[in-house]
Amino acid sequence: MEFILHGHSLTCQKIKNSLAEFGEALEVSDCQDTLTAGNNFKVCIISEEPTVIFDLCAQFGRIKSAKVNEVK
Protein backbone atom coordinates (compact mmCIF):
# COMPACT_ATOMS: atom_id res chain seq x y z
CA MET A 1 0.00 0.00 0.00
CA GLU A 2 1.11 3.56 -0.49
CA PHE A 3 -0.25 6.94 0.46
CA ILE A 4 0.63 10.54 1.23
CA LEU A 5 0.45 11.56 4.89
CA HIS A 6 0.02 15.28 5.52
CA GLY A 7 0.66 16.59 9.01
CA HIS A 8 2.47 19.08 11.19
CA SER A 9 5.46 18.37 13.46
CA LEU A 10 6.15 15.03 11.78
CA THR A 11 9.43 13.48 10.72
CA CYS A 12 10.20 10.45 8.59
CA GLN A 13 11.71 8.74 11.62
CA LYS A 14 8.63 9.30 13.78
CA ILE A 15 6.42 7.72 11.11
CA LYS A 16 8.83 4.80 10.66
CA ASN A 17 8.98 4.16 14.40
CA SER A 18 5.18 4.09 14.63
CA LEU A 19 4.60 1.77 11.66
CA ALA A 20 7.59 -0.60 11.77
CA GLU A 21 5.85 -3.35 13.74
CA PHE A 22 2.78 -3.40 11.49
CA GLY A 23 4.33 -4.34 8.16
CA GLU A 24 7.34 -5.04 5.98
CA ALA A 25 9.39 -3.14 3.41
CA LEU A 26 8.52 0.20 5.04
CA GLU A 27 9.67 3.27 3.14
CA VAL A 28 8.94 6.84 4.21
CA SER A 29 10.17 9.87 2.27
CA ASP A 30 9.59 13.60 2.18
CA CYS A 31 7.07 14.61 -0.46
CA GLN A 32 6.82 18.38 -0.14
CA ASP A 33 3.98 20.36 -1.63
CA THR A 34 4.63 24.10 -1.82
CA LEU A 35 0.90 24.86 -1.95
CA THR A 36 0.05 23.52 1.52
CA ALA A 37 1.39 24.32 4.97
CA GLY A 38 2.85 21.42 6.91
CA ASN A 39 4.73 18.36 5.78
CA ASN A 40 3.85 15.66 3.29
CA PHE A 41 5.36 12.19 3.45
CA LYS A 42 5.07 9.36 0.97
CA VAL A 43 4.58 6.08 2.85
CA CYS A 44 4.94 2.65 1.24
CA ILE A 45 4.45 -0.51 3.31
CA ILE A 46 3.47 -4.13 2.85
CA SER A 47 0.92 -5.03 5.50
CA GLU A 48 -1.72 -7.66 6.15
CA GLU A 49 -3.80 -5.02 7.98
CA PRO A 50 -4.11 -1.79 5.94
CA THR A 51 -6.92 -0.56 8.19
CA VAL A 52 -4.57 -0.57 11.19
CA ILE A 53 -2.01 1.46 9.22
CA PHE A 54 -4.61 4.01 8.14
CA ASP A 55 -6.07 4.31 11.65
CA LEU A 56 -2.64 4.89 13.15
CA CYS A 57 -1.62 7.46 10.52
CA ALA A 58 -4.93 9.31 10.85
CA GLN A 59 -3.79 10.25 14.36
CA PHE A 60 -0.81 12.10 12.82
CA GLY A 61 -2.67 13.99 10.12
CA ARG A 62 -4.60 13.61 6.89
CA ILE A 63 -4.14 10.71 4.50
CA LYS A 64 -4.22 11.60 0.80
CA SER A 65 -3.80 9.67 -2.44
CA ALA A 66 -4.13 6.21 -0.91
CA LYS A 67 -3.52 3.15 -3.07
CA VAL A 68 -3.91 -0.40 -1.76
CA ASN A 69 -2.81 -3.33 -3.89
CA GLU A 70 -3.84 -6.85 -2.95
CA VAL A 71 -1.02 -9.36 -3.26
CA LYS A 72 -2.00 -12.99 -3.68
Q: pLDDT tens digit string along 4-61?
A: 999 888 899 999 999 999 999 999 999 877 666 678 999 999 998 899 999 999 999 9
- pLDDT at position 35: 66
Indicate the burial class of 53 (C-beta count within 10 angstroms; 0-12, 13-18, 19 or more): buried
